[in-house]
Amino acid sequence: AQSVTQLDSQVPVFEEAPVELRCNYSSSVSVYLFWYVQYPNQGLQLLLKYLSGSTLVKGINGFEAEFNKSQTSFHLRKPSVHISDTAEYFCAIQTGANNLFFGTGTRLTVIP
């Protein structure tokens, strides 16, 4: 069985401060890893993905994530957040063709 756990349901952070959104997964097979972002009143869109190779992956809007196989984690980071980063962020894993599983989401609120 596979699962995705996002440890924080809500993360408030001040503007220009760094942020880390945590994601852990469980799977008996190898996975691909994704982060999706949902801006207010919109659908989800892909932020970044890890397929193989370098464990540090860069995405859009200055976000990056690091894959840690031993800790089965894929935490999302940004060194300095902006008001426009306020959104809900979803971690997801793919375990096979068309088998995509999402975490329940982390709501990031950037405080001016």
Partner 1 sequence: DSGVTQTPKHLITATGQRVTLRCSPRSGDLSVYWYQQSLDQGLQFLIHYYNGEERAKGNILERFSAQQFPDLHSELNLSSLELGDSALYFCASSVVSGGVTEAFFGQGTRLTVV
By CB under 8 A, is residue 44 in contact with partner 1?
Answer: yes
The CA distance from 109 to 10, in Å, is: 8
Could you give the C-alpha distances from 64 to 1, 20, 28, 70, 96, in angstroms and in order?
27, 10, 25, 19, 24
Tokens of 57: 């992956």
Nearer to partner 1, 9 or 61 (CB): 9
Q: Counting contacts by CB under 8 A, is residue 30 touching partner 1? A: no
Q: How far is the CB of 83 from partner 1 (least distance, A)?
A: 22
Any contact of residue 43 with partner 1 (CB under 8 A)?
yes
The structure tokens 């989401």 sit at 105
Query: What is the residue whose two structure tokens read 């975490």?
Result: 103
- Residue 90 as a binder of partner 1 (CB under 8 A): the answer is yes
User: CB of 79: closest distance to partner 1 in angstroms?
Assistant: 26
User: Interface residues with partner 1 (CB under 8 A)?
Assistant: 9, 32, 34, 36, 41-46, 49, 51, 90, 92, 94, 97-105
